[in-house]
Chains A and B, each alone.
Chain A
Amino acid sequence: MATTTAAVTLTSTDLLTDSLSLSATNTLYKAGTTTGLDQTTGITKAYLTATTQVDIFPTLIEGSIAYKGKSSWVYICNESTDETEYAIIKVSGNVIGKLYAGDFLWMPWSMAEDGDTDNKHADIQLTPSVDTGMWFSWCMINEGTEYPTSV
């Protein structure tokens, strides 16, 4: 069984009167079990030179088993160093937030088909704010992804 852990720390000496020193660690399991997630896309490093919205993970198959209660974790980092540069992150066309330079996210991903009847799939979409070139890295650790048949 693969054992993968994710740990976070949030720290500040001056956000509050008291120091903030929050830590959390978890092992990544398949949905509802204590069996470790055993699939990964690996860590992608990408240099995007357009402000076009892109899907960062493989196209999902209609009715895929991935929709049926699987567990997937997504890491995305905006590696830009220009504080004004950001990427808009969406799930199924709905904005989650903007990752500014240096920011990262770590989130679960249900791959749920869109609930807003706008015919979007469960894609995670990333849109760079500039076309002058931005570096990103991303990774998925998961179970149950089905890949489309090639044509």
Chain B
Amino acid sequence: MAVTAAITLSSAADDLTTDALALSTSCTLTKAGISTALSNTSGLARKTTASASQYTLFDGDAYGNGAHKIYLKNTETSAALYFTIEINSEQMGKLYAGDWAFFPWEANADTNDIKIQPSTSASHTLEYMLIYE
């Protein structure tokens, strides 16, 4: 069993920098400290919010310590609409329209939840997937 994640960051020459940016990295998602592949997933899901309240996307108490990986994407198209991403009660950052993120999640404490908060009370849709031990 194997799950592969790959990222490419690119920008043409004389744009972000004089030299072109062309960074590519890929990795196989494995369990913590071993070469066995991650084998569980939430599946690719969508959540459409209907208020500007904060929502718990993943509960740290439900997954425990591990080399979990999170994928998030704000599917909105209006540039000003964003989701604020919070982990372990700390603001990580904001996902604006079209933005995606991919990061490890240790879920090392009951309080280590992943929470999202849309920027307005209008309908916002977030796509997400957890791949976990």
Which positions in A face B, CB cutoff 8 Å?
2-16, 20, 22, 24, 26-27, 29, 31-34, 36-38, 40, 42-43, 69, 71-72, 75, 77, 83-84, 86, 88-89, 91-100, 102-110, 112, 114-116, 139, 141
Contact = CB atoms under 8 A, between A and B. Distances in A.
A116 B32 CA distance: 28
B15 A96 contact: no
A4 B27 contact: no
B104 A33 contact: no
Binding site of B, secondary structure by majority: helix, strand, loop or mixed? strand
Given A24-B73, A26-B98, 6 more contacts: A9-B6, A11-B6, A32-B80, A96-B103, A103-B29, A116-B90
Contact of B79 (A20, A22, A29, A115): A29
B91 A75 contact: no
B62 interface: no
B9 A6 contact: yes
B3 A12 contact: yes
A83 B11 contact: no
A110 B83 CA distance: 12
Given A2-B16, A94-B88, A96-B88, A10 B105 contact: no
Nearest to A87: B104
B106 A97 contact: yes
Contacts of A12: 1-4
A96 B96 contact: no
Contact of B30 (A83, A91, A94, A116): A83
Given A22-B71, A97-B104, A4 B16 contact: yes
Interface residues of B, number: 64
Interface of B: 1-12, 15-17, 21, 23, 25, 27-30, 32-35, 37-39, 41, 43-44, 67-68, 71, 73, 79-80, 82, 84-85, 87-96, 98-106, 108, 112, 129, 131
Contacts of B25: 77, 104
B15 A106 contact: no
13 contacts: A9-B4, A20-B44, A26-B98, A29-B79, A75-B7, A83-B35, A91-B90, A100-B30, A106-B100, A107-B93, A107-B102, A110-B92, A116-B89
Contact of B9 (A11, A71, A91, A139): A139
